[in-house]
Amino acid sequence: MPEKPGKLIPAVYGGIIMGVISGIPFLSIVNCFCCAGIMLGGFMAVFFYKKDLKESSPPLTNGDGIALGALAGLAGAVVTVILTALFHFVFHMALGSGMQRLEDMGMGDKIPPEAMRMIQGMMSGGGLLGITFVFHLFIDPLFGLIGGLIGYAVFKSKVPAVMPPPPPPPR
Amino acid sequence: MRSARLTYAVILSGAAAWCALIVLAPAAASSAGGAPLLAPLGTILYAFFSPLCHQIGARSFQLFGSPLAVCARCSGVYFGFLAGTVAYPVARKLLRNSGPGSMFLILALAPMLVDVMLETAGLHESSMGVRAVTGAWCGTLVPFLIIPGAIEGVAQLLSRRNSHAVQTEKGIIDA
């Protein structure tokens, strides 16, 4: 029986889409709609995988959608942190817009200045890159997985996938 | 059946925890004066959600005098997702594995996309209620699209893992 194609390359492609959308300022506004950019990465990973499937290959399954979305999320977290570092250190673009947004929301007076200073200290330079990486390492596989499942629902073949037979009991 | 229940429970508890964090942010920020330890928690939660939503105060529901951690549309999507997840086992059997297709996704997204496009084009001025309702419509339908896939997918991954473990064990015994 022909083997399924590898998942790594389609997942990396999906991760690059995810990372470019999340890591480039202004483009990252797409994620303001419930992580649409991250879900798009998971969705596209399934699309690229489906393109690699041959007619004789076993059909696309839900398990493939989950695995591709989660893998694309891991790749996306790496790409995002690389691009964030690039924009921060090379182009000197300000990070930590979340703190500025708190001020814009009128929350500045509700939060004690010492708490604000403590968090601003944490969210500067290398600290912020670490936080960005941990944040994306958690969020990207989660929303990528949802994108992968949506991708499966869209790209699944009309013929239902056959579940593999249960393993024989150990002797 | 056990893995189906477990997968459903993980999705439900994840959605509930996510919505709790959205509500906890204004609660922590508002009580910061009385309990200073809560202030960093509120700030961290607002900062956590900041890459996921524009957090414009005028477009967000207020709780305890502070905006929720996400805007009205995102709140609609996330709380709708929780409601859809709660309703899922009532409306469908957990083990019914054929989920709806791409038309269902279009049906879920259409009202929200139409609202966004008309507003962007300047043809209609959306209100917070419309944003929340169109978001909630999408959020409520999405679990019906992804929960069957998640249940079936986890079962497939577990089955593959068990099959691999049995083959490895058999290989060791044969050797």
pLDDT tens column, B84-96: 999 999 887 766 6
Q: A110 and B29 in contact by Cβ < 8 A? A: yes
Residues B34-74 have pLDDT tens digits of 666 677 788 888 888 888 888 888 889 998 888 999 999 99
DSSP code per residue over chain A: -PPPPPSHHHHHHHHHHHHHHHHSTTGGGGGGTTTHHHHHHHHHHHHHHHHH--TTSPPP-HHHHHHHHHHHHHHHHHHHHHHHHIIIIIS-----HHHHHHHHTT-TTTS-HHHHHHHHHHTSTHHHHHHHHHHHHHHHHHHHHHHHHHHHHHH--SSPPPPPPPPPPP-
Q: Report the percentage of chain B scoring pLDDT > 70.
A: 84
Euclidean distance between CA atoms B134 and B55, whole angstroms: 18
- Distance between CA atoms of B52 and B39, rounded to whole angstroms? 21
Interface contact B57, partner A, CB < 8 A: yes
How far apart CA B8 and CA B151 sit, in angstroms, is 7
For residue B30, give the nearest of A35, A110, A153 by CB distance: A110
**Lowest mean pLDDT across A6-10, A30-34, A125-129, A155-159:** A125-129
The structure tokens 């790594």 sit at: A8
The count of structural domains within chain A is 1
Closest to A38 (Cα-Cα) out of A72, A67, A10, A82: A72
Choice between A125 and B121, residue whose per-residue pLDDT is larger: B121
Query: Is B141:B104 a contact under the CB 8 Å cutoff?
Result: yes
Q: What is the pTM of this model?
A: 0.79
Asked if A164 and B48 come within 8 Å (Cβ–Cβ), the reply is no
Which value does ipTM take for this structure? 0.75
**B119 CA: distance to closest CA in chain A (Å):** 15
More confident residue, B174 or B2: B2
State pLDDT tens for residues A24-35: 877 877 877 777
- CB B49: neighbour CB atoms within 10 A? 21
Residue A111 lies in a domain: no
Nearest CA in chain B to A38: B52
Mean pLDDT of B18-40: 80
Write down the pLDDT at residue A89: 74
pLDDT at B15: 95
The yes-or-no verdict on residue A77 having pLDDT over 60 is yes
B74 neighbors B133 (Cβ within 8 angstroms):
no
Do A115 and B43 count as a contact with CB atoms less than 8 A apart?
yes
Q: Would the pLDDT of B137 be above 80?
A: yes
Average pLDDT (A90-108) is 59
More confident residue, B143 or A114: B143
The rounded mean pLDDT for chain A is 79
pLDDT mean across residues, chain B: 84
How is residue B32 annotated by DSSP?
T
Contact: B46, A106; criterion CB under 8 Å: no
Residue A22 included in any domain: yes
| Partner A, chain B 78-117, Cβ-Cβ below 8 Å | 78, 98-102, 104-105
Per-residue model confidence (pLDDT) at position B82: 96
Residue A5 has pLDDT above 90, yes or no: no
- Is residue A110 a part of any domain in this protein? no
**Residue A9 burial (CB count, 10 A):** 13
Checking if the pLDDT of A13 tops 90, the result is yes
Chain A interface includes B64 (CB < 8 A)? no
Nearest to A152 by CA among A53, A65, A52: A65
- Is the Cβ–Cβ distance between A164 and B160 less than 8 Å? yes
Q: Pick the more confident residue, B165 or B65.
A: B65
Most confident listed range (A81-90, A160-169, B11-20, B65-74): B11-20
Q: CA A118 to CA A144: how far, in whole Å?
A: 32
Query: CA distances (Å), B122 to each of B115, B118, B119, B125, in order?
Result: 11, 6, 5, 7
- The residue ranges of every structural domain in chain B are 2-174
What is the rounded distance in angstroms from the CA atom of residue A100 to the CA atom of residue A143? 25
Q: Could you tell me if residue A62 is inside a domain?
A: yes
Residue partners of A71: CB distance under 8 A and separation at least 6:
A7, A8, A11, A14, A15, A45, A144
Range of the domain at A54: 8-93+136-155
Quickly state the pLDDT bin for B159 (edges 50, 70, 90). confident
Distance CA A64, CA A159 (A): 16
Instruction: Answer whether residue A41 is part of any domain.
Output: yes
* Chains A, B: CB pairs < 8 Å: 142
pLDDT of residue A97: 55
Q: CA A19 to CA B5: how far, in whole Å?
A: 33
* A24 located within any domain: yes
Query: CB of A149 within 8 Å of any CB in chain B?
Result: yes
Residue A170, in any domain of the structure:
no
